Amino acid sequence: MKIVTFLFTLLVINSMSAQSTDVFFTDADVFFKEYIKNGRVDYAAVQSNPESLDKLLAVAQTIKVSKTDAKTYQAFWINAYNLSVIKGILAKYPVKQPLSIKGFFDKQKHAVGGSSITLNDIENEKLRAVFPDEARFHFVLVCAGLGCPPIINEAYMPSKLEAQLQRQTKLALNNPSFIRVKGKKVQISQIFEWYNVDFTRSGSVLEFINKYRDSKIDETAKLSYYPYDWTLNDIK
């Protein structure tokens, strides 16, 4: 009888957890659609009506996702990162850039996924360390600076995560502002410098970039890095 009761309790807990996760993805999608426009965040609008973000993060705080369900796990932590960035900016808004906030990435803690965790921890421990071969994370995790690939006005969903990762990576690597090609001189984001190991696991940085480009860059091209733009991705 005790075994039956335990199994029933476990089933109820798992069902409630699944419902919370579904609510999180649905509400996140509504939030992003309302406050993200053309790759920028309407921080002032969120600040004037913080309830939706606070409610969303309160749900995120209770959710625990398993690495064995890779797409749900990845989608949850990508959304959690982007929402936590917005929350962190609002704590000191208005600001000119995220680096204006001391410890923004490595000191400030966020209560998500059953943990008290920094943005760097989400990126490096929850995502990069668990899925070291998935370099496309760098095109969907948005640091609040204009140097990042733009934030999108939808949530990342388990059911379409592969398509979303592919789409955002292709958009970034075909964007002439992100990959600046002038003949055989090519300037690329410092993202490729800071996370070089992620892009060179099976070849060179240029080979990674060309994998997603419609117009391939000459393999003899000389690569250099342009300065990262930390200006806040704010709607003015």
- Per-residue model confidence as pLDDT tens digits over 137-148: 999 999 999 999
pLDDT for the residue 4:
47
Name residue, tokens 């476990």.
Answer: 10
Q: What type of residue sits at position 38?
A: N
Task: Read off the pTM.
Answer: 0.92
- Mean pLDDT across 157-178: 98
Q: Which residues pair with 111 in a beta bridge?
A: 116
Domain finish residue from 133, 160, 187: 160
pLDDT above 70 (res 149): yes
Mean predicted confidence (pLDDT) in 59-64: 95
Residue 46 has pLDDT above 90, yes or no: yes
Answer yes or no: do 126 and 179 share one domain: no
Evaluate whether residue 168 is within a structural domain: no
Do the domain assignments include residue 145? yes
Q: Are residues 153 and 199 in the same domain?
A: no
Do 105 and 191 sit in the same domain of this protein?
no
Do 203 and 93 sit in the same domain of this protein?
no
- Find the mean pLDDT for residues 213-228: 97
Question: Where does the chain have alpha helices with state H?
Answer: 2-35, 43-48, 51-62, 70-90, 119-121, 161-173, 191-194, 196-199, 205-212
Domain boundary (107, 133, 160) is at: 160
Residue 224, H or E segment = strand 222-225
pLDDT, tens digit (0-9, with 9 covering 90-100), for 87-138? 999 999 999 999 999 999 999 999 999 999 999 999 999 999 999 999 999 9
**Is there a single domain that holds both residue 106 and residue 41?**
yes
Q: Residue 169: inside a domain, yes or no?
A: no
Verify that 134 and 191 share a domain, yes or no.
no
Q: Is residue 125 part of a domain?
A: yes
Q: Which domain holds residue 222?
A: 174-227
Element (H, E) at 95: none
Residue with more model confidence, 14 or 173: 173
Q: Do residues 117 and 194 both lie within one domain?
A: no
Query: What is d(CA 206, CA 216) in angstroms, rounded to the nearest whole number?
Result: 9
**Residues 88, 196 share a domain:** no
Q: Is residue 8 predicted with pLDDT exceeding 80?
A: no
Q: Where would I find the beta strands (DSSP E) of 96-175?
A: 110-112, 115-117
Q: pLDDT-derived band of residue 9, with 50, 70 and 90 as boundaries? A: very low
Model confidence at 236, in pLDDT bands (50, 70, 90)? confident
139 inside domain: yes
Structural domain ending residue among the three candidates 160, 185, 211: 160
Considering the domain architecture, whether residues 118 and 44 belong to the same structural domain is answered as yes
Q: Does 137 share its domain with 182?
A: no
At residue 14 the predicted structure's pLDDT band, cuts being 50, 70 and 90, is very low
191, 94: one domain: no
Percentage above 70 pLDDT, the chain: 92
Count of residues making up the chain = 236
Alpha-carbon distances, residue 225 vs 30, 77, 82, 178 (angstroms): 36, 28, 25, 10
Do 197 and 152 fall into the same domain? Answer: no
User: Based on the structure, what is the number of domains in the chain?
Assistant: 2
Residue 227 pLDDT class (50, 70, 90 cuts): very high
